[in-house]
Amino acid sequence: MAPNVVSPTPPWWQTAVVYQIYPRSFCDTSGNGIGDIEGIRSRLDHLEWLGVDALWMSPVFTSPMADHGYDVADYCDIDPLFGDLAAMDTLLADVHDRGMRVILDWVPNHTSDQHRWFMESRSSNDNPRRDWYYWREGTSDKPPNNWQAVFPAGPAWTFDEASGEWYLHLFTPDQPDLNWNNPDVRAAMADTLRFWLDRGVDGFRMDVVHMIGKDPTLPDLLSGPGSPLLEYDEPSTHQHLREIRRVLDAYDGDRCSVGEVYLLEPDVVATYYGNDDELHMSFNFMSVWTGWDADAWRRVVKGAQDAFDPVGGWPTWVLSNHDLPRHRQRFGGDAAIARAAVLLLLCLRGTPFMYAGEELGLVDAEVAPDQIQDPSGSRDGCRAPIPWEPGHGHGWPAAKNWLPFPPEAALRNAQTQRVDPASIAWLYKDVLAERRGSSALQRGSQELLEGLCDGILAWRRSYEDDERIIVINMTNEDVEIDLAEPTMIRMSSVASHQNGNEDHAFDGGIPANSGMILVPRR
Ligand code: GLC
């Protein structure tokens, strides 16, 4: 595919905006203080009101919840905490009835230590499933290599006294790594995909998928003891991804994959698209490591263009997810910045991934040290329950939920914001509608506009005769720019301007920390 061009009939996921739901925190209907599948179903009107196209659910499969579902004990069943298969089928049907899609979170790198496969593997050194995981000989005082777990601090190996061997886990000891070098593992994992594809899911977010291929000799990291997560790029992963792609391609409906490829070099991330025969999309996490700084963002946007365009890889954009402080928090908490960031996320070329609650302008909850739930200890703040209503309980029935609400929930809740057209929720809604109505924004080419003024990030999107220019002032000062072409303001992030106002001429002025969508005047 030529650079910066999309097919005239793009697959749904190229024009979609995806909304990530962390099910524990979305909406509780059972009254146990933890969100559930029925809760998601009961709030679909919110997603429809907003105008997103697909929802990605963090894992809801059977799990002991050592990592809140990222430790799967059965890929083909639903944890009773969240509901059951019937509830999931009903949700799928309802989402589809509303013209939206569902992406499930598939966790291929590791299972729970309570998965039947691991319990069998662990049961004896000659169990037929022994080789489904990475077991290595050694003495109890020296792990087999210098890999460290991402969390908790310590080696990525646990010594099993009973069998006198170590097993590998890139995350907690409750999350043993599957051995994808074993063809039976690959076949079993492909079956878990088919199970959900047969039930009608539209795609998968694939958890730490760049780690599934491993050199069976498991050599030390040359850089010294540490986690391989940010640097591991093993050729066999690409072979596994081609097999996975063939599983998806055997189904109709453009079923898609988006990989959590936690490598911070866009050029390397782009190789995970293969020759359009591996991942359909991959997260490019440079965006979440970038502050509110126009020069830094220009480098990120240019880095993505240079990496993805030549290979025809469709980019993705993300500012927040369940693993990081929310972006409003990271950008300093300013309400104006949170609003300008809506244009940043939704108007760049590629598929944007929103994180539930960002449309309410949420910051992270404060979680007391003795209330921490997360095995890494640092991610609870962004996983706070979503406030639905202003009053007591914010739409959550339990007296106490698994985590406290985020600050200012009496204002930053769905009900209050949905009746206020000047709210950030309405800005998301309006920009999403603008995006849907503009082929330039949905799938047009992208050109960075250089040299306008320090602190300004600006780019042009074009598709046939549809054109938009987006300008974002990432400074605390009002600035004037000269675009050298007459334009009309289509939309502004400034609250007092009201979203979706009547078009009027752009005079070059952009208030501090604000953004505008402009249309050339012809
Ligand atoms: C991914 C998930 C994270 C999880 C980890 C282990 O990074 O996003 O939440 O803890 O994988 O599965």
* pLDDT tens-digit map of 74-83: 999 999 999 9
Over residues 215-224, mean pLDDT? 96
Tallying the residues shown for the chain, one arrives at 522
Ligand 1 mean position, distance from CA 490 (Å): 39
Atom of ligand 1 nearest to the CA of 376: 10
Positive/negative CA dihedral, 35, 36, 39, 41: positive
Atom of ligand 1 nearest to the CA of 70: 12
For position 2, what pLDDT does the model report?
A: 39
Percentage of the chain lying above the pLDDT 70 cut: 97
Q: Classify 242 as helix, strand or coil.
A: helix
For position 23, what pLDDT does the model report?
A: 98
For position 429, what pLDDT does the model report?
A: 97
Q: Which of 125, 145, 168 is the last residue of a domain?
A: 168
pLDDT at 471 over 70: yes
Percentage of the chain lying above the pLDDT 90 cut: 95
User: Atom 2 of ligand 1 has which residue's CA nearest to it?
Assistant: 207
Alpha-carbon gap, residue 138 to 489, rounded angstroms: 67
Active site residue 207: yes
Question: Is 143 contained in some domain?
Answer: yes
Band (319; pLDDT cuts 50, 70, 90): very high
User: Atom 7 of ligand 1 has which residue's CA nearest to it?
Assistant: 208
Asked if residue 449 lies in contact with residue 476, where contact means CB atoms within 8 angstroms, the answer is no
Q: Exposed/middle/buried for 297, CB within 10 Å: 0-12, 13-18, 19+?
A: buried
Burial readout 210-225 (b: 16 or more C-beta within 10 A, e: otherwise): bbbbbeeeeeeeeeee
pLDDT at 359 over 50: yes
For position 3, what pLDDT does the model report?
A: 45
Whether ligand 1 lies within 6 angstroms of the CB of 171 is answered as yes
Asked if residue 117 lies in contact with residue 225, where contact means CB atoms within 8 angstroms, the answer is no
Does 81 lie in the same domain as 146?
Answer: no
Number of domains observed in the structure of the chain: 3
Asked if residue 392 lies in contact with residue 381, where contact means CB atoms within 8 angstroms, the answer is no
451: left (phi over 0), alpha (psi -120 to 50) or beta: left
Which DSSP helix (H) or strand (E) runs through 346?
helix 335-347
Whether ligand 1 lies within 6 angstroms of the CB of 208 is answered as yes
Ligand 1 mean position, distance from CA 208 (Å): 7
Question: Is 174 contained in some domain?
Answer: no
Question: Is 151 contained in some domain?
Answer: yes
> In the structure encoding, which two tokens stand for residue 404, read together?
């406290």
Alpha-carbon gap, residue 437 to 225, rounded angstroms: 51
Whether ligand 1 lies within 6 angstroms of the CB of 288 is answered as no
Ligand 1 mean position, distance from CA 376 (Å): 10
Pairing of strands 281-282, 316-318: unpaired
Read off the CATH number of the domain in which 370 is found: 3.20.20.80
For position 500, what pLDDT does the model report?
A: 52
Active site residue 161: no
Does 120 lie in the same domain as 100?
Answer: no
Alpha-carbon gap, residue 110 to 485, rounded angstroms: 54
Residue tagged active-site, from 207, 358, 374, 434:
207
User: Atom 4 of ligand 1 has which residue's CA nearest to it?
Assistant: 70
Does 275 lie in the same domain as 146?
Answer: no
Asked if residue 363 lies in contact with residue 382, where contact means CB atoms within 8 angstroms, the answer is no
> In the structure encoding, which two tokens stand for residue 4, read together?
């910066």
For position 9, what pLDDT does the model report?
A: 87
pLDDT at 186 over 70: yes
Alpha-carbon gap, residue 489 to 142, rounded angstroms: 64
Does 470 lie in the same domain as 409?
Answer: no
> In the structure encoding, which two tokens stand for residue 256, read together?
């898609």
Alpha-carbon gap, residue 23 to 59, rounded angstroms: 8
Does 240 lie in the same domain as 307?
Answer: yes
Please tell me the least confidently modeled range out of 21-30, 88-97, 493-502. Answer: 493-502
Look up tokens 């939704």; give the residue: 346
Over residues 87-116, mean pLDDT? 98
Look up tokens 């078009």; give the residue: 503
Alpha-carbon gap, residue 201 to 93, rounded angstroms: 10
Atom of ligand 1 nearest to the CA of 71: 12
Whether ligand 1 lies within 6 angstroms of the CB of 22 is answered as no
